[in-house]
Structure 1
Amino acid sequence: MSDIKRIETGPRMSQAVVHGGVVYLAGQVGTAGASITKQTEDILANIDRLLAEVGSDKTKILQSTIWLSSMDDFAEMNAVWDAWVPQGHTPARAAGESKLATPDYNVEIICIAAV
């Protein structure tokens, strides 16, 4: 059985967990109260940072789940996502609308990637 490695572990959750050659990221959020563009940029930078910490990168993302507080923000979020995600390495992805932890968060992104 392979080891489990936890990154930025707190009392409630870890920001990333690596097991069996796969990294599972916690839901990432950006600067509370900022625009959807800024929040998405912050999230994607955080994803890049966490993946690099475990020896992975965005070309190895297998799946992403995106939660938006309003689907009205879908196009604005996608503009940032599309500029960031490497063509030819796009992951399986789902996006939906949901209430997030606070009304100040407009987007949350969860990723699973190969290491």
Structure 2
Amino acid sequence: MPTGTLEHANVTVSDPDRSSQLMQDLCGWHERWRGKSQFGGNTIHVGDDAHYIAFYTSGAVAERYAKGQPLNHLAVVVDDLDGAEKVVADAGLEPFGHDDYDPGRRFYFFDWDGIEFEVVSYR
């Protein structure tokens, strides 16, 4: 039976540079690639050497979708939850849904395009 891992997620955003910078500040990731999308528009890949998020824009304002249509949230694991929350707040975004649970702690935030992120720490 095959096995696999999630290599990347591709999401449409209004400003790929802004979204890329937030994830670099939040997770210590780096920009892996940027360029024209095969379907037009621009894309920035930001992540580590094995996994990334592709932030795409077509240059037009994307139609907004309600949570869960089609994506509920993306989650990232960090080693310093309090530091991560400061990065989110300093970006002008509002952390919510704080929870301590077995085995970790977490909070959520919506980015500028309404994409929900979960930030979790298992320390």
Would the TM-score normalized by the shorter structure come out above 0.5?
no
Higher relative contact order (CA 8 A, sep 6+): 1
Query: Of Structure 1 and Structure 2, which has the larger fraction of its residues in helix?
Result: 1
Query: Of Structure 1 and Structure 2, which has the larger fraction of its residues in strand?
Result: 2
Q: What TM-score results when the alignment is normalised by the length of structure 2?
A: 0.29
Q: What TM-score results when the alignment is normalised by the length of structure 1?
A: 0.30
